[in-house]
Amino acid sequence: MSIRRTIENNDEAGIRPSKTYQSFVAAAGGHRELNFIEKDVRNYITREVRNVSEQEDAKEFGKYFLRMKEKNPNFFFELELEEDQSIKLAFWADARSRAAFEYFGDVISFDTTYNTNRYNLVCGSFVGVNHHGQSTLLGCSLMKNEEIESFKWLFQCWLRCMGGNAPKGFLTDQCASMKRALEACMPTTVHRWCIWHIMKKIPSKLNGYKGHANIEQEMSHVVWNSHSKDSFDRNWNDFLLNFGLADNKWLSDLYEDRHIWVPIYLDHHFWAGMRSTQRSESMHSFFNKYITRNSSLIQFVK
């Protein structure tokens, strides 16, 4: 029983099965002293620890949140379940995140590019910047889909958790559903798209054109070096004419939305030094140290 318990605890803490096995070998004084091999440890994890059903897992997930709230009444969570009792939407923030928001809630980076788990739930994290320029986590979410209604549910939930105070600035990746939900839930907040994501798409969107390396270079120049809104408009139109791109739909859509991604339209607002959702992504790489796609919900939330 004690070996099983250790395997379960180590798995939950993100310790690799090989390391767990080595610790048993060291404690026993050699491989020969053990009546099982490393493969048995792996099999036990797959069979016993991870083989829970989605419904059981969701139930444990909810119970864990209730226990957290009993420990600290300032722990906040909301869940919405599907008819089969699996998770549709979940949001949670601990007391520390809620306290941090009061000081560091001016600008938020929110990102859902992290798909963590075996149920294909999308994980979103709300991240702020503290007075040392470090990222600080201000809430986490899991969503079955990325539709407007799901984002509305989530943003309203997050605002309730944070005392109804909308941030001044909100950074996201380029997502139409998110944009619509933000307009509805936080009309006074300045919304900004992550410029890095947009610039990263240029090669794949424009590589069908002759001289696409020059196109990329010129587009970057126009975006970063226009010193007024008027000069950006002029430079952009010249750029389209010079390269014969006037009928490119991707570029004309980007131009329509220029006020939420082009620096000259946004940099007069306070952004705590952020122009991209990189902070949310670094939070995701932090999660990656502890969990894999096979992790259960309960392992993930712990």
CATH code of the domain containing 185:
3.30.420
Global confidence as pTM = 0.75
Q: Which of 101, 86, 126, 134 is nearest to 296 (CA)?
A: 86
What's the CA dihedral at 222, 223, 225, 231 to 10 degrees?
70
SS3 for 57?
helix
pLDDT for the residue 256: 93
Identify whether residues 181 and 283 lie together within a single domain. yes
By residue count, the chain amounts to 302
Contacts 24+ apart (CB under 8 A), 9-17: 11/45, 11/49, 11/50, 11/299, 12/299, 12/302, 13/290, 14/289, 14/290, 14/291, 17/41, 17/42, 17/45
Q: DSSP string spanning 216-273?
A: HHHHHHHHHH--SHHHHHHHHHHHHHHHT-TT-HHHHHHHHTGGGT-HHHHTTS--TT
% of the chain residues with pLDDT over 90: 39
Task: Flag whether 243 is in a domain.
Answer: yes
Identify whether residues 295 and 151 lie together within a single domain. yes
Beta bridge partners of 172: 193
Q: Which of 166, 142, 148 is nearest to 61 (CA)?
A: 142
Identify whether residues 170 and 89 lie together within a single domain. yes
Q: Are 119 and 106 in contact (CB under 8 A)?
A: no
> Mean pLDDT score of the chain, rounded to an integer?
85
**Residue at a domain's end among 35, 50, 65:** 50
Condensed to tens digits (0 to 9), the pLDDT of residues 179-206 reads 999 999 999 999 999 888 888 888 888 8
Task: Flag whether 256 is in a domain.
Answer: yes
Indicate the DSSP class of residue 50.
S
Between the two ends of the chain, the Cα-to-Cα distance in Å is 22
Identify whether residues 12 and 30 lie together within a single domain. yes
pLDDT for the residue 294: 66
Identify whether residues 177 and 276 lie together within a single domain. yes
Give 291's pLDDT tier (boundaries 50, 70, 90).
low
Identify whether residues 103 and 227 lie together within a single domain. no
Identify whether residues 230 and 206 lie together within a single domain. yes
Identify whether residues 86 and 223 lie together within a single domain. no
Number of domains in the chain: 3
Which residue range is the domain that position 149 belongs to? Answer: 54-194+271-300
Q: Which of 50-59, 144-153, 157-166, 264-273 has the lowest mean pLDDT?
A: 50-59
Identify whether residues 186 and 68 lie together within a single domain. yes
The Cα–Cα gap between 16 and 226 comes to 51
Burial class of residue 34 in the structure, from the number of CB atoms within 10 Å of its CB (0-12 exposed, 13-18 middle, 19+ buried): middle
**All residues at 6 or more sequence positions from 71 whose CB lies less than 8 Å from its CB, including other chains:** none
SS3 for 73?
coil
SS3 for 130?
coil
Burial class of residue 249 in the structure, from the number of CB atoms within 10 Å of its CB (0-12 exposed, 13-18 middle, 19+ buried): exposed
Condensed to tens digits (0 to 9), the pLDDT of residues 9-37 reads 887 777 888 899 999 999 888 888 888 89
